[in-house]
Amino acid sequence: MTTHIGLIGGGNITETHARAARAIPGAEISAIHGTNAEKIARLCREHGGTPYQDFDAFLRHRPMELVIIGSPSGLHAAQGIAAARHGLHVLTEKPIEISIARSDALIEAAKQSKVQLGVIFQDRRKPHICQLKKWIDQGLLGKILFVDARVKWYRPPEYYAGSRWRGTLALDGGGALINQGVHTVDLLLWLLGDVVRVQARTATQLHKIEAEDTAAAILEFASGALGVFHATTAAYPGYPRRVEIAGTEGTVILEHDRIIAANLRNAAAAIESAPLDENLSSSTATVSDFRGHQSVLEDFLQAIQQNRAPACDGIEGRRSLALIEAIYRAAKTPDRVATV
């Protein structure tokens, strides 16, 4: 059975969506919507589908059972709600939106229309990260005491200057934290559970943007664990994301999406090999290795077939945004503290 997919956006990440979809047997791109006529025409030539600049006409295109949203982040809810009302399942890029109020409206619309809603956090599908989650859930790290997560990435000035939405409060909702840091915020919540309180500072240190290019936060987890988190797009030349998790039974260090150290008291838990990931998110926005996206899409297609929620549904997808909103709130208060 063929599943017909509509793509929304037509920029950098839509290319990844198209390649991921084409790698899945039985998946077909049937339409592409975006505001840039040249870009969507090229994508359709290369990957198939009918180009639409008119969003309403795109939503009426059939056959089409689902859409993948890769437009600027502040458009995800409005476009997702419209798609859901047309009976289309919705898989949206991270962040789910730039405000919790709008995310909740999207979650509610999907529920009312009885369509599946998924959020793309491809790190949750990476083999080493799944291995680490298993170890934590099995108690191999013991009680988690402390996490130290650093996203020292670099984006050149053109990354912002050449974009009408990146780094803007209206469409990106912020800067380095909500756009780049969100992957790692999601990971921390997925691996370690909810955060209840944050202390934070944000700053615009290098780039000429209205949002922050640097954010630093202290996290208090519901479990009692503490964390420090740092995200930036100003750290030339950009380094792999690093997460160090210390528990009573040992420490694991993740670099980008690979476990590079696992010093556990229970040494029998040896590191399993996983395919090398060639993505270089530290210095570029291009997701050249689409396997993570492919895996998210495969799960989403199965979710539709099996009439179940996808692994990362709207409720899961909104967790990182709720914490990010709290970090922004904390950074604006005189005592720099906020509850989540």
Interface residues with ligand NAD (CB under 6 A) are: 8-13, 33-36, 39, 70-73, 75, 93-94, 120, 122, 163, 179, 285, 287
Compute the least distance from the CB of residue 162 to ligand NAD, in Å: 9
Which is closer to ligand NAD, CB of 146 or CB of 165?
A: 165
Compute the least distance from the CB of residue 34 to ligand NAD, in Å: 4
Compute the least distance from the CB of residue 197 to ligand NAD, in Å: 26
Q: How far is CA 25 from its chain centroid? A: 24
Which is closer to ligand NAD, CB of 14 or CB of 199?
A: 14
CA distances from 256 to 6, 155, 190 (A): 30, 16, 16
In the bound state, the residue with its beta carbon closest to ligand NAD is 11
Compute the least distance from the CB of residue 252 to ligand NAD, in Å: 23
Task: Classify burial at 171, counting beta carbons within 10 Å of its beta carbon; exposed 0-12, middle 13-18, buried 19 or more.
Answer: middle
DSSP 270: P
Which is closer to ligand NAD, CB of 120 or CB of 259?
A: 120
Compute the least distance from the CB of residue 285 to ligand NAD, in Å: 5
Which is closer to ligand NAD, CB of 75 or CB of 107?
A: 75
H-only helix segments in the chain: 12-22, 37-47, 55-60, 76-85, 100-113, 127-138, 157-161, 182-192, 291-306, 314-332
Using alpha carbons, select from 90, 117, 106, 119 the residue that is nearest to residue 5: 90
Cβ contact 50:32 at 8 Å: yes
Cβ contact 55:80 at 8 Å: no
Which is closer to ligand NAD, CB of 122 or CB of 184?
A: 122
